[in-house]
Structure 1
Amino acid sequence: MIHVMRIVMQPARRSEKDVDQHYQDTIVSPVVFDEHADILDASTIDQLKQLFPDGQAQMWGVVPGKRNVNVSRIRKMSPGDWVFFSGDKRVYFGGTIALMWRNKEMATRLWGTDHAGSTWEYMYALSGTRGFDIPLEEIRTLLGWNPNRNIMGISLLSEEESDTLQTLLTLDTATAALEPVDTAQEEAAVAAFDGQLERTARRAHRGEQAALKRRLLHGASSQCALCGRTLPGAFLIAAHIKKRAMCSDDEKRDLANIAMLACTFGCDAVYEHGYVTVTPGGAIAVSPLVDEIPEVAAYIQERLASRTIAWWTPGREPYYLWHRAHTFKEAPPA
C-alpha cells in the first residue's frame, strides 16, 4: 500500500534553553546507535542500522502529555511523514520520519525529564533533514488558519493541508521504514477492481505558458539560463523562477521576469528541487545537502558550480529571493 505523506507540526522553541539543548544534543549532533545498544531493543537497532548505515541519526521525541493527550496524535504518525519544527513564530527545520519507537530509558538518557517528571519517550529518527526560515504567519495565511493560531502541541495536518505545504516547499521523500506489504491482498484488490482503468486528467490550462516560451525562445534554439548550453527549443522549458502555484495573478502575468529557460537534461529538475539557487548578482549557489545524492552532485559540479548567470536582473530578484527562502535546500540550523 502506498504511503500518503502527511505533515506533522512539532513545536520546539529554541529560545527556551532546554529545547535548544535537546536540539544541540540530538539534531546538531546525531545519536550514535552503538552508544545506546544496552537499552535499544534488537529489532529497533537493526532497523536503524538498515536505514542509516553510518550508524547514527538525528532524533527527537514527544512526551505522552497530561492524561496521555499526545498519544492519540502520535499513533496517527507514520514513517514517511514529514515533520516541521516550529518556534518563535517561524518554521526552521524539517525532515522525514524514518522510524518511530517508544523507549523511556533512552529518552531519559538523552534528554532527562521535564518539570512533571515525564520524558520524551515516543521517539523518532529523522532522515533528509533541511533548514527553513518560513514565518508562521505565511503558513497560517496559506492554510487559511486563524491569524492567532499557534502550534501548541504536536499535531498532524490534514491531507489537503499537507499537500498545500508540500507544494509550497517542495518536500522530497527520504529514507523511511517500509510498511509490510501483503502481496496476496494487493493482488486481490487489483483483480477485484472494476472501476475505470483510464481517467481523463483535468488540469488548469496555463494560458501564459505558450506566451512565456515564445518570449524567451529566440529562434529554433536558445541558451539554458543555468548551464548556458545552446539547445533546440524542444529541450528547453519556460521554468518559473518562483513556483507558479504560489504566484499571484499579477506575478504570472509578469512575463518579462517570472520565468527563465531551463533545459530538460537536468537544470530544470535541480532548480525545481532546490539543489541550486541564484543569489543576488546571478551567482549559482549549491545546496550543502546535494552530496547526499552523488549523481546529482556530479551533474551540478560539472555543469553549474561556480557559474554566474546572465539571466539575473533586479526585476527578477524578488522571484529568486522567494526560491532561496522556500525551495533551496539549506543545511539544518546549528
Structure 2
Amino acid sequence: MRFADHAALLDPAVLQTLRGLFPREEAQMWGVTPGQNNANVPKIAKMRPGDVVFFSGNKRLYLAGTVALAWHNPALAEHLWSRDEDTGLTWEYMYALSGVRGLDVPMDEVRRLLGWKPTRNIMGFNQVKQEEGELLLELIDFDPGDAATSPTTHQLVSEGGDRTEQQHGSSDKASSGITVRRAEQDRIKAYLLPGSEGDCALCGRTLPKEFLVAAHIKKRAACTEEERWDVQNVAMLACLLGCDSLFEHGFIAVDHNGDVQVSEAAENSPTVSKHIDEHLADRHVTWWNPKREKYYAWHRANTFKTGAPSPERIA
C-alpha cells in the first residue's frame, strides 16, 4: 500500500510513524477482524513491533514477516477490503510487516517438527508456544533482526497456534541440543573429510580441513531421524570463507540441475555480490546428484531468500 494514496484515512501519528519505518512510503499491510464476540481482540492487543508472524494456507506455511507497526482503523480496512459477506466484519486491526519472506513449508513438516498430531490444523488468528516459535524460526532460518524494526521478545503466528514470549539465553534443553549437534557434526565431517584437506562443494576450492564444515543441506531441525543418518546425501562440505554462511542464510542455493542460484537479496551488499561473482557465479556444483536433490529442493523452498507472494488478508 502506498501511504500517499490513503493518507486521508490514516491517523497523522500513524502515518508519521509508517513514513519513519518505511522511507519509500509504501508497505505491505494485513488486517484481522475482531472475530465473533471480539474473540481476536485480546490476542491483537498483545501484538508488538518485532513480533514474528507466520501465514498458512493450502496446507503449508507460505509467508513470514516481522511486525513493524499495528493499529486500529475500521475506515481504512473497509475502504481496502470491504466487509465479510457472512459476518459483516472488516479487517480493522491492521498491521504492516517488514522483512517479509515467501515460504513453501508443508504443514505435515510443521506438525512433525512441533510434535503435533497429524490431524491438527492451523485456523484463525492465534499464538504458538515459546519452544514451537523458536523451532519455526530455526526451521526457516528467519532472523527478525533482518526487518526494519528491532526485534522484541515476542513471537506471533497468524492463522494458527498460540503466541507467547521467547526467553533469550541458554537452557538445559538448549545446551543438550547443541551437544548433540556438535557430536553429529563431528561424525558427518569425519565421513566427508577423511584427510587433512578437502573441496568446498559450492565454490570448489581445495582447503585445509580447518576451513571446512559439514553443512546440512536440509536444516537438521527439519530432518527426520532417517534423513539425519543419510550422511552421504544430507550434508556437504562448505568453506568458512563465505560459502557456508551464504548457503545457510539463503543468499545462494543449488537449483534442480546442480547450478548455483543467487538470491536478489545478495545485491543489497556490494561486498557479498563481489564475493559471489568471484567465486560462485555460473558454477555447477558437482556434489549435486539426483539422490541429494530432495535436500537441495528443501533448502530452495525453506531457506533461499525469494520475494514474497501476494498475501491474502486473514479473516
Task: Name the counterpart of 1:322.
Answer: 298
Judged with a 3 Å threshold, the aligned counterparts in structure 2 of structure 1 residues 147 and 218 are, in CA distance, closer, same or farther, namely closer
Task: Name the counterpart of 1:253.
Answer: 229
8 Å contact from structure 1 (residues 79, 176) kept in 2: no
Q: Secondary structure at the match of 2:258?
A: coil
Deviations 1:146-174 (A, max 9, x none): 33332221011111110111121111223
Q: Distance in 1 between matches of 2:244 and 2:200?
A: 9
Q: Distance in 1 between matches of 2:140 and 2:59?
A: 17
Report the more deviating stretch, 221-230 or 204-213. Answer: 204-213
Task: Name the counterpart of 1:136.
Answer: 107
Residue from 141, 154, 171 that aligns with 2:125:
154
Task: Name the counterpart of 1:285.
Answer: 261
Q: How many residues align?
A: 288
Q: Distance in 2 between matches of 1:243 and 1:199?
A: 21
8 Å contact from structure 1 (residues 77, 156) kept in 2: no
Q: Secondary structure at the match of 2:27?
A: strand
Task: Name the counterpart of 1:106.
Answer: 76
Q: Distance in 1 between matches of 2:269 and 2:67?
A: 19
8 Å contact from structure 1 (residues 222, 231) kept in 2: yes
Q: Secondary structure at the match of 1:207?
A: helix
- Counterpart amino acid of residue 179 in structure 2: A
Judged with a 3 Å threshold, the aligned counterparts in structure 2 of structure 1 residues 35 and 199 are, in CA distance, closer, same or farther, namely closer
Q: Secondary structure at the match of 2:183?
A: coil
Task: Name the counterpart of 2:210.
Answer: 234
Q: Secondary structure at the match of 2:69?
A: strand
8 Å contact from structure 1 (residues 51, 175) kept in 2: no
Residue from 154, 158, 175 that aligns with 2:147:
175
Percentage of matched positions with identical amino acids: 50
Judged with a 3 Å threshold, the aligned counterparts in structure 2 of structure 1 residues 227 and 155 are, in CA distance, closer, same or farther, namely same
- Counterpart amino acid of residue 96 in structure 2: A
- Counterpart amino acid of residue 228 in structure 1: G
Deviations 1:270-328 (A, max 9, x none): 11112211122310112234334554344333332221111112232222122122222
Q: Secondary structure at the match of 1:274?
A: coil
TM-score w.r.t. structure 1 length? 0.78
TM-superposed CA distance for 1:215, in Å, is 3.1
Q: Secondary structure at the match of 2:291?
A: coil
Judged with a 3 Å threshold, the aligned counterparts in structure 2 of structure 1 residues 44 and 296 are, in CA distance, closer, same or farther, namely farther
Q: Secondary structure at the match of 2:70?
A: strand
Task: Name the counterpart of 1:35.
Answer: 5
Judged with a 3 Å threshold, the aligned counterparts in structure 2 of structure 1 residues 67 and 325 are, in CA distance, closer, same or farther, namely same
Residue from 89, 93, 96 that aligns with 1:122:
93
8 Å contact from structure 2 (residues 203, 279) kept in 1: yes
Judged with a 3 Å threshold, the aligned counterparts in structure 2 of structure 1 residues 111 and 301 are, in CA distance, closer, same or farther, namely farther
Judged with a 3 Å threshold, the aligned counterparts in structure 2 of structure 1 residues 238 and 162 are, in CA distance, closer, same or farther, namely same
TM-score w.r.t. structure 2 length? 0.82
TM-superposed CA distance for 1:178, in Å, is 4.6
- Counterpart amino acid of residue 240 in structure 2: T
1:208-219 equivalent positions in 2, closer than 5 A: 208-217=184-193, 219=195
1:302 aligns to 2:286 (yes or no): no
TM-superposed CA distance for 1:179, in Å, is 8.3
* RMSD value, Cα: 2.6
**Structure 2, gaps ≥5 residues long:** 153-169, 311-315
Task: Name the counterpart of 1:25.
Answer: none
Structure with greater Cα Rg: 1
Report the more deviating stretch, 226-235 or 60-69. Answer: 226-235
8 Å contact from structure 2 (residues 250, 303) kept in 1: yes
8 Å contact from structure 1 (residues 99, 176) kept in 2: no
TM-superposed CA distance for 1:176, in Å, is 4.2
